[in-house]
Amino acid sequence: MRRHFVAAIIAALTLLPTTAHAETQRGNPTAQGTLSGDGRLVVAVSDATPGEPARTPLIGYITYKVTTDDHPDPGDLSGLCLADPQAHTFGWWYRIIGTTLDGRVVIDELVCRPFDATHHPHPPALPRPPTIEEAWNAANVPAPRILTDPPTRGITGLTTHITPSSPAVLSIAATIRGYTIVGTATLDHFLVAIDGGPPQTTTDITFTTKGEHTIVIAAIWRGRATLAGPGLDHAISIGDIGIAMIGASRRYPVHEVRTALQP
């Protein structure tokens, strides 16, 4: 049995087409994936913009300088602030906004950034929350087991019953860069693919040719999580962290039984 967990963005999903839509810092990103013929799992997030959406942070941050309007006058001082009252150091206000995957604003604050030696302020360093990829890696989703009846070999023309087996619920718990992720991954359903063919939900397979066949099982998981850490006053609900798939493959020999008429 093989088990591979690869987080990547792929141009085309060779086995399972993805129809999910996501935006990098807003909208509702959905992690999805596919299985190759040998049981290799590829986790991906489809996205309307370039980049690597599987590495989309659970909270996306932006920052910008504060001005009176979109086109300030050259002498506009509305963003001037006192960065260090004791040292009489001046600076400029920056606004920091953080949004969850579903577009909720959870951080909206002003930060006074001091001027440097050239009399220019530097934007604040933005936090680096865990990504979708890191959240799913924290779940440690196991590969499903593949049980068959008949257990060791099939017969052409007779039905082989395939029984996938996997835990129903898993806990997500990890600390990454000072952030704590707590959540739950729930098994949604299984998909079955035979010899690199299209995935299907049926688990009763009738083989028509003898020889070595490959059974691939994909366990489809859904996840929800909360996040606590730097810049957050309390643990916040991230909500849906998308869909992930983990697969396993098994070689399954199929024999042919022939009948002969006796004189």
- The residue extents of the domains of the chain are 5-58+130-255, 61-114
Indicate the average pLDDT of the chain: 77
Which residues sit opposite 98 in a β-bridge?
A: 61, 107
Half-sphere exposure in the Cβ direction for 263 (13 Å, CA): 0
pTM of this prediction? 0.70
Q: What are 120-134's pLDDT values in tens digits?
A: 888 999 999 999 888
Of 126, 106, 113, residue with least CA distance to 232: 106
Say what the pLDDT of residue 120 is. Answer: 87
pLDDT at 32 over 60: no
Tell whether omega for the bond before 127 is within 30 degrees of 0, i.e. cis. no
Q: Report how far apart, in Å, the C-alpha atoms of 130 and of each of 23, 178, 179, 190 are.
A: 17, 9, 7, 28
Task: Pick the range with the lowest mean pLDDT from 145-159, 208-222, 226-240, 249-263.
Answer: 249-263
Of 137, 65, 130, 139, residue with least CA distance to 100: 130
Average of pLDDT values for 216-227? Answer: 91
The length of the chain in residues reads 263
